[in-house]
Structure 1
């Protein structure tokens, strides 16, 4: 066996290239260290997703632009990410994980520098566009690499970390930025220089990590925009669509609209509160996803949809009655459902794709997820100017509840395997 060996671990077929099994020299990380370093680099990508949200209010106060431009700055990230996923989501299946990840992290450094030196909202929108491209290239590739680098007897750990790292990173990024806004004289400088340094360190980790994919032809053809789910995973993927919509619409509500809700409905402009309300759902979600790794995945996703339904109802009551504690309670309950549901669904789907099609599968998952994350928030931004903030927020909450009910029914009817 000179190029790869096949093993079946936990019901998952894994192709282990020789590079993964050997250290490869003094500057090559062993698989366990590479796994940990890659996971941290993935968290850094998610940190950068959540970090700008508490800063948007500062930008609005400093530059005096129209509030709807905040929605544009939020949505352009999702749009560019989606386009990149369609074009380059499966590229690493052909040329390897390392080249794609190194390029994506380098683009993240560029985006952070544009954020740092931005003189107006146009530059912020540009930075978010670059960030969307970089994150779109990295998202499915990081998740696939984590599954492949995970220890042989803990393959599900790779899928779990792949699903919780983006969620937990968003929470940490938003909360730490909120703290910086509240207590640091120059929060933008601290936030974006720190992130740029983290991405530079991530590049070094990936350079020193082993490759997990054997190069194969078709790289140029893979750039043709398409959504192709591996045959063995299609039935589960279709059944998971309502779940992806419910979970990521929830993320869009709290990451995209919660600063406007705090300002417009609760009349609060605290950077700390802005960071906290953005951070609570993904933080609780990350913890729930990690704690429930050993639980039956199907049972987990059913109960997670019930949690989202209850949580979003409580949050809607808090918004309608302007009771801030209820909003936070609802965000906590729904956030647990978000993390447990998304993580559980990835544990079901990940074993259904072989290594050379795994990035393609995750590209499809994140494509649907980020459509649900960005598109409704963009529509909501338009509706705020037409029907007002409160009706828009309540309508958004009702749409999440409806999607979670459909997802609960679909998953409850599937066998608990």
Structure 2
């Protein structure tokens, strides 16, 4: 429910553009403010749940999610959108490391692999539910800039009740004042695993970032798709395909999932390039499915390898560091595309992004083939 709120505005950006009259660059900046909020929290407080406990951190995260919904409900100018996205980023930043570590804490001793899938599927599944929920409500329920956030606010309140019911898993809790900002760095035993995992995660999240922020405008302007539910569904398909890719890791194996995921990301980028070049809706749907599956393969394999290699007391901090890299991928390239839309147009900016990400995905695949992640990482 927390992650659903982070993508809830995706099919609504066109309505906000009409209401407030801002450019495509502003859309990408509004989107990226969320990622900067995530990165800030992960760097400053990514390890705080290891100290003060999982439940307090998740309750703060739900509080920021509620504040985000209120900002969008009150939005009468661009500043409210920035504030709403920032609060959304703060909520996701607190949840990504703490909730993943919490799920793994609560899992039985022989259920680590299943717990990793549950955590990553909740992450990506929630991200997919956001545009789908908002698109359906905006298209068929009326008051498109109000009702989605009212519904999300109610879901957040229900989620807080669930968190209060859960047991705390951090045995030696300390006061918040004893927590220290997380310094960049990794335990030595994690570093060999972290490098390929981080490269693959960056590429996958970059594809998601641009697909989520730019595709609604492309669907409207180039393909004349004006149905908000359809727009939300196409964006949601990428996240749901990611969940399918994560499920496939158990069959494919950790060693093969990272390079195979990079290949799928390359194919997804090629399909997106074709959709932009020839204005074909089937290609953008295929791009969402194939690219999403590749992102799921790389994301779960990366998270599994990093989490299993991490010392128990540093697990949330190391997972948070991986998410810092991933959310850098979901923010910086997005703004780059927004900057290029002016001189190159939406198609040219998208193709320039695809070319850069294709090079990076190729480098990651070659790296992983030469120095594969071990199955027992």
Same fold (TM over 0.5): yes
The equivalent residue for 1:326 is 283
Q: How far apart are residue 220 of structure 1 and its match?
A: 4.6
Q: How far apart are residue 219 of structure 1 and its match?
A: 5.4
1:80-101, CA deviations, whole angstroms, 9 ceiling, x for partnerless residues?
Answer: 1111111111111111111111
1:313 to 2:313 alignment: no
Q: Partners in 1 of 2:23 and 2:373 — Cα distance?
A: 50
Match of 2:167 among 202, 210, 220: 210
The equivalent residue for 1:23 is none
Cα pair distance change 1:415/1:107, threshold 3 Å: closer
Contact 2:274 2:283 in 1 (8 A): yes
Q: How far apart are residue 232 of structure 1 and its match?
A: 1.8
3-state SS of paired residue (2:22)? coil
Q: Which runs of 5+ in 1 are unaligned?
A: 1-43
The equivalent residue for 1:228 is 185
1:241-279, CA deviations, whole angstroms, 9 ceiling, x for partnerless residues?
Answer: 220111111111211111122233324332123212311
Counterparts in 2 of 1:38-77, with a 5 A limit? 44-77=1-34
Q: Which runs of 5+ in 2 are unaligned?
A: none
Give the stretch that moved more between structures: 260-269 or 194-203. 260-269
1:156 to 2:113 alignment: yes
1:302-351, CA deviations, whole angstroms, 9 ceiling, x for partnerless residues?
Answer: 21111111121022112111111112112211111111111111122211
The equivalent residue for 1:350 is 307
Contact 1:299 1:416 in 2 (8 A): no
Counterparts in 2 of 1:330-341, with a 5 A limit? 330-341=287-298
The equivalent residue for 1:280 is 237
Q: How far apart are residue 228 of structure 1 and its match?
A: 2.7
1:49-79, CA deviations, whole angstroms, 9 ceiling, x for partnerless residues?
Answer: 1211111111112233333321221011111
Contact 2:46 2:182 in 1 (8 A): no
3-state SS of paired residue (2:229)? helix
Give the stretch that moved more between structures: 141-150 or 223-232. 223-232
Q: Partners in 1 of 2:21 and 2:65 — Cα distance?
A: 27
Contact 2:271 2:284 in 1 (8 A): yes
Contact 2:197 2:258 in 1 (8 A): no
Contact 1:265 1:390 in 2 (8 A): no
The equivalent residue for 2:72 is 115
The equivalent residue for 2:131 is 174
3-state SS of paired residue (1:284)? helix
Paired residues in the alignment total: 374
1:131 to 2:88 alignment: yes
Q: Partners in 2 of 1:219 and 1:114 — Cα distance?
A: 27
Q: How far apart are residue 225 of structure 1 and its match?
A: 5.0
3-state SS of paired residue (2:190)? helix
Q: Partners in 2 of 1:402 and 1:284 — Cα distance?
A: 23
Contact 2:50 2:314 in 1 (8 A): yes
What RMSD over aligned residues (CA atoms) do the two structures have, in Å? Answer: 1.8
Contact 2:305 2:373 in 1 (8 A): no
Q: How far apart are residue 290 of structure 1 and its match?
A: 2.2
Contact 1:161 1:290 in 2 (8 A): no
The equivalent residue for 2:102 is 145
Counterparts in 2 of 1:242-321, with a 5 A limit? 242-321=199-278
Q: Partners in 2 of 1:318 and 1:110 — Cα distance?
A: 37
Give the stretch that moved more between structures: 215-224 or 378-387. 215-224
Q: How far apart are residue 114 of structure 1 and its match?
A: 1.5
Contact 1:87 1:222 in 2 (8 A): no
1:117-164, CA deviations, whole angstroms, 9 ceiling, x for partnerless residues?
Answer: 212222111111111112111211011111111122211111122222
Match of 1:90 among 35, 47, 55: 47
Q: How far apart are residue 396 of structure 1 and its match?
A: 1.0
Contact 1:285 1:337 in 2 (8 A): yes
TM normalised by structure 2 equals 0.94
Cα pair distance change 1:237/1:416, threshold 3 Å: closer
Q: Partners in 1 of 2:366 and 2:112 — Cα distance?
A: 28
Specify the structure having the higher radius of gyration (Cα): 1
1:262-299, CA deviations, whole angstroms, 9 ceiling, x for partnerless residues?
Answer: 23332433212321231121111112212433541121
